[in-house]
Amino acid sequence: MPENEIIWFILFNAFIVVMLALDLGVFNRKAHAISVKEATVWSVVWVTLSLCFNVVVYFMYENHWFGIGTSEHLRLTGDEAALQFFTGYLIEKALSVDNIFVFIVIFSYFGVPAKYQHKILFWGVLGALIMRSIFIAAGSALIYRFEWILYVFGAILVVSGWRMMFQQETEVHPEKNVFIRLAKKFFPVTTGYEPPTFFRRIGGKLHITPMLLVLITVETTDVVFAVDSIPAVFAVTRDPFLVYSSNVFAILGLRALYFLLAGVMTSFHYLKYGLSIVLIFVGVKMLIADYVHVPISISLVTIGTILGVSVMASLVRTKRQRHDTSTHR
């Protein structure tokens, strides 16, 4: 990575650390169940920050602040960079909704009280940011040295999209998780969620709590999602900073989105089909990139249309089911 771009990663990460510190240390210092109203406010905050940063991206690349966007193998104008960031953000935001299905199953499986779910998701998001930054750095290095790896990414996306389309209901099997089994092998596990800590010392011996087991399950599950989502963003931009920043903003808004949509996720019946088609689309786009150039604007419109149709179809189905239920009463 060019030295003149490293400063932006440092500044960006410093901003993220400050926002996370405000989130957990100020606004959510006391454990409580997140209301729909609070989740809505935070969702609006994160989306607004993402869109504002999208504007910043435009000026960063248009004016080449500190030389960003002038790499020999990647030269982007402000318009190109802003459009690529937004498309990547939209993909990540849409795919993060699929995470919510899994979080619901995980919290239900472990019986996590509502007031402690935010803390687990906070540390889950923090771990996800670290893991994804490693994946993105590795992906960027591989693409820079072995450009043919894009075909591998494309194939992964097509296969993942196909599997998602025909996947049955989401299931979670923590008892099969190797990390859960290792944790239980080396540490005794306490019962209950009081106090809400990850470790407890009882009788001079260190114990782990169910909260840590839930966190491990969330983190390892996110690694699986990252295998799909990160290559999907590389399909619309190869700029490491744009891939990373779009991922980060999508993940940061995930917790608020969870508390906002958790109660109505069953209404989005066709969403997984929309997401699967998006994965297949960006995968095919990667595979044919050397033969057919698909403009980023076309990609954005296509992805937005697919997601919009799947959501609208889901809402129509839900409304029809409610009407049929009330009619048969």
For residue 184, being part of any structural domain is answered with no
The radius of gyration of the chain from alpha carbons, rounded to an integer in Å, stands at: 21
Give the DSSP per-residue string, 83-143.
HHHHHHHHHHHHHHHHHHHHHHHHHHHHT--HHHHHHHHHHHHHHHHHHHHHHHHHHHHHH
Tokens of 125: 């998001």
For residue 185, being part of any structural domain is answered with no
Q: State the distance between the two ends of the chain, measured CA to CA, in whole angstroms.
A: 64
For residue 27, being part of any structural domain is answered with yes
Model confidence at 51: pLDDT above 90: yes
CA-based torsion, 274, 277, 283, 288: positive or negative: negative
For residue 137, being part of any structural domain is answered with yes
For residue 92, being part of any structural domain is answered with yes
Q: For residue 138, give the amino acid letter.
A: A
For residue 93, being part of any structural domain is answered with yes
DSSP 156: H
Could you tell me the pTM of the whole model? 0.82
For residue 25, being part of any structural domain is answered with yes
User: How many other C-beta atoms lie within 10 A of the C-beta of residue 206?
Assistant: 11
Q: What are phi and psi of 259, to 5 degrees?
A: -70, -25
For residue 85, being part of any structural domain is answered with yes
Mean pLDDT within 272-300: 86
Domain that holds residue 13: 3-169+231-327
Domains contained in the chain, number: 1
Q: Which among 93, 70, 76 has a CA at the least distance from the CA of 246?
A: 93
Could you read off the pLDDT of 93-137 as tens digits, one per residue?
888 877 777 788 888 888 888 888 888 888 888 888 888 888 888
Model confidence at 281: pLDDT above 80: yes
